[in-house]
């Protein structure tokens, strides 16, 4: 009889096969304080591909641009007259140009438009440019020196005051903005890989598949049987054959044989909208569980949009010399205050109803 010894067990080294998750370090694209420094978005084509092909990314970026412009701009009569004469490529308005530039800098981090003035330096037009061919050049002191349009290898130089440049979430002394796609790319890939995998599974098994065990190894008989069986199974007809010619087995996936990807896909979707900062209710979805949570999500989104509106207003003032005000589409602040009143006086923060009371 063989002797079994429990103390002969040897442990494996599974721990050594696991790699801890880590994030690669990055550095800023800062100007070199000796000579000129150039930067151009080499990833624009890839970023544009994500925007055009990933529906949730398209919807969220479009929502950010649309809500930031809101009801359009307000300004004094002279500024309004100037803005109304701006036509971009001939079919634009001042509002659509701003919306275009917001959409563009979410995709690539930066957006550019050529500033065109008349002989008296009056603004007469803004022409959006392709960010994939614009190069930013800083001088040895780290200051913006010029822009270069590199269309088809021909370089056209622009002084800084000839380009209206919006840069999203610039960090430190970095020369450019940051694309929203950079932070959500892994979520996008994980979610859409699952969707694509599940689509293949559904397509693969939408029609019954059979496994036949033929009691012959003759190639001619096998080929003839295959041709006849493929033709009949494609039509859905019943099949009749002599006893003991073959054995058939229906191929299918048992309900619990694979992981259900739907919960994973939905979770990644929720994570994506949270990371981008657009509640699903903004897009017509129902990601929030209650009316109260939906209102809080809406108010958080409102603060984000109003901050972005302030950024646009300041840049228009600084770069174009015009004072405008962007209107937010719709606010829920008054409705929330009304809800608090309905809840009773004991639940009302008096400072919210009368903000001036804090200064009394």
**How buried is 177 (Cβ within 10 angstroms: 0-12 exposed, 13-18 middle, 19+ buried)?**
buried
How would residue 355 be classed by pLDDT, with cut points 50, 70 and 90?
A: very low
Q: What is the pTM of this model?
A: 0.74
**How many other C-beta atoms lie within 10 A of the C-beta of residue 220?**
8
Question: What per-residue confidence (pLDDT) applies to 332?
Answer: 59
Check pLDDT > 50 for residue 182. yes
How would residue 339 be classed by pLDDT, with cut points 50, 70 and 90?
A: low
Check pLDDT > 90 for residue 17. no
Q: Would you state the structure tokens that stand for residue 137, as one six-digit string?
A: 């050049």
Per 3-state DSSP, the chain is made up of helix, strand and coil in percentages (nearest 5) of 50, 15, 35
Angstrom CA distances, 179 to 36, 57, 187, 335, stand at: 24, 12, 15, 34
Distance CA 40, CA 37 (A): 10
Angstrom CA distances, 235 to 83, 154, 230, stand at: 65, 61, 9
Distance CA 69, CA 308 (A): 10
Angstrom CA distances, 22 to 19, 109, 326, stand at: 9, 25, 42
| Domain range list for the chain | 27-186+283-352
Question: Where is pLDDT greater, at 282 or 349?
Answer: 282
How would residue 77 be classed by pLDDT, with cut points 50, 70 and 90?
A: very high
How would residue 232 be classed by pLDDT, with cut points 50, 70 and 90?
A: confident
Q: Would you state the structure tokens that stand for residue 73, as one six-digit string?
A: 């701009």
Check pLDDT > 50 for residue 353. no
Reduce the DSSP state of residue 135 to 3 states and report it.
strand
Residues 105 and 134 sit within 8 Å (Cβ to Cβ): no
Distance CA 100, CA 87 (A): 13
Angstrom CA distances, 139 to 131, 147, 318, stand at: 21, 12, 21
Q: Which of 53-67, 88-102, 190-204, 339-353 has the lowest mean pLDDT?
A: 339-353
Q: How far apart are the first and last CA of the chain?
A: 96
Residue 156, phi then psi, degrees to nearest 5? -115, 120
């Amino acid at each position: 009889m063989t002797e079994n010894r429990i103390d002969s067990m040897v442990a494996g080294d599974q721990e050594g096969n696991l790699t801890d998750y880590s994030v690669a370090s990055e550095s800023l694209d800062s100007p070199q304080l000796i000579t000129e420094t150039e930067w151009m978005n080499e990833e624009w084509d890839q970023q544009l591909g994500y925007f055009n092909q990933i529906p949730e990314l398209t919807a969220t970026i479009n929502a950010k641009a649309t809500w930031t412009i809101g009801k359009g701009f307000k300004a004094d009569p002279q500024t309004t007259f100037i803005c109304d004469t701006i036509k971009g490529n001939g079919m634009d308005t001042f509002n659509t140009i701003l919306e275009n530039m917001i959409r563009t800098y979410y995709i690539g981090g930066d957006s550019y438009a050529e500033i065109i003035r008349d002989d008296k330096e009056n603004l007469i037009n803004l022409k959006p440019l392709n960010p994939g061919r614009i190069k930013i050049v800083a001088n040895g002191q780290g200051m913006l020196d010029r822009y270069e349009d590199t269309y088809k290898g021909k370089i056209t130089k622009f002084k800084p005051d000839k380009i209206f440049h919006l840069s999203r979430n610039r960090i430190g002394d970095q020369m450019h903005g940051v694309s929203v796609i950079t932070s959500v790319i892994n979520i996008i890939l994980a979610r859409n890989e699952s969707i694509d995998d599940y689509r293949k599974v559904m397509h693969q098994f939408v029609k019954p598949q059979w496994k036949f065990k033929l009691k012959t190894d003759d190639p001619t008989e096998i080929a003839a049987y295959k041709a006849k069986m493929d033709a009949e199974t494609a039509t859905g007809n019943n099949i009749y054959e002599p006893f003991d010619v073959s054995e058939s087995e229906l191929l299918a996936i048992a309900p619990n044989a694979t992981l259900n990807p739907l919960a994973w896909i939905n979770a990644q979707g929720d994570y994506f909208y949270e990371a981008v900062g657009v509640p699903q209710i903004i897009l017509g979805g129902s990601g929030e569980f209650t009316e109260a949570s939906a209102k809080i999500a809406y108010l958080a989104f409102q603060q984000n949009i109003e901050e972005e509106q302030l950024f646009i207003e300041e840049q228009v003032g600084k770069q174009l010399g015009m004072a405008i005000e962007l209107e937010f589409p719709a606010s829920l602040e008054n409705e929330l205050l009304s809800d608090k009143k309905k809840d009773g006086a004991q639940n009302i923060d008096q400072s919210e109803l009368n903000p001036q009371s804090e200064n009394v």
